[in-house]
């Protein structure tokens, strides 16, 4: 499958990149600096240097042959407000009207959706994010709200809880199960879940929680 990946130099994106290449997909990445990509993977992918906040650069890496876009851009304390939301808007505009393309994104566990089973633990996760990770929390909230305006685009996504380094297990829970502040998932398995959505429409227009 021909995939365009945003966020290839981050923790989740790096795993998406490696697993996609290992699976034999044709991968194009948009990065600010190619030097940040793993040396051993550079010859196996198409690299375009640019800025995803620039709509022209986004359209450069999404063409008529693109079958899926993976969104794994992370947010830290140095990120611009609504970074993920604004980049997603550029991508979704590019995909609008292209029925064969899909958008697979990585959200945040502190974003509640209507299918969630809201428990005390879930409320703790949300309150913690609001207090200590407000930039990321608000961006992911806005990103999810934006997606509701693009139901003509085939989008799917996951909401990971506390992410950490770890081996790829390939076994985890994905859905709208109860979760709390101790729930977690590895970057590798988050990427694995995203890639599993390349040919699975079970979560179309849904954003399930992923956790062990």
Write out pLDDT tens, residues 16-34. Answer: 999 999 999 999 999 999 9
192: burial class by Cβ within 10 Å (0-12, 13-18, 19+)? buried
Would the pTM of this model clear 0.85, i.e. be above it? Answer: yes
- Average pLDDT over all residues of the chain: 96
* pLDDT recorded at residue 77: 87
Cα separation, 37 vs 18, in Å, equals 10
**Helices (DSSP H) in 112-198: which residue ranges?**
120-132, 134-147, 187-196
Show the domains of the chain with their CATH numbers: 2-211 (3.40.50.720)
Coil, strand, or helix at residue 180?
coil
- The number of CA neighbours under 13 Å toward the Cβ of 186 is 14
Q: What average pLDDT score do residues 27-42 get?
A: 97
**Helices (DSSP H) in 23-119: which residue ranges?**
55-60, 83-95
* pLDDT recorded at residue 105: 98
Cα separation, 107 vs 144, in Å, equals 8
* pLDDT recorded at residue 80: 95
pLDDT above 70 covers a percentage of the chain that reads 100
């Amino acid at each position: 499958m021909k995939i365009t990946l945003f966020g290839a130099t981050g923790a989740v994106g790096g795993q998406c990149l490696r697993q996609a290449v290992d699976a034999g997909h044709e991968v194009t990445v948009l990065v600010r600096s190619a030097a940040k990509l793993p040396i051993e993977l550079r010859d196996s992918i198409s690299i375009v240097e640019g800025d995803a906040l620039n709509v022209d650069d986004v359209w450069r890496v999404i063409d008529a042959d693109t079958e899926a876009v993976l969104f794994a851009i992370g947010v830290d304390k140095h990120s611009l407000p609504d970074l993920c939301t604004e980049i997603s808007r550029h991508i979704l505009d590019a995909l609008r009207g292209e029925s064969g393309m899909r958008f697979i994104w990585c959200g945040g566990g502190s974003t509640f959706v209507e299918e969630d089973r809201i428990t005390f633990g879930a409320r703790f996760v949300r309150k913690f994010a609001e207090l200590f990770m407000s930039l990321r929390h608000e961006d992911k909230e806005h990103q999810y709200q934006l997606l509701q305006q693009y139901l003509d685009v085939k989008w799917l996504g996951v909401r990971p809880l506390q992410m950490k380094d770890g081996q790829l297990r390939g076994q985890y829970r994905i859905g709208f199960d109860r979760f709390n502040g101790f729930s977690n998932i590895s970057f590798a398995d988050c990427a694995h879940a995203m890639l599993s959505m390349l040919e699975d429409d079970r979560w179309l227009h849904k954003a399930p929680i992923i956790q062990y």
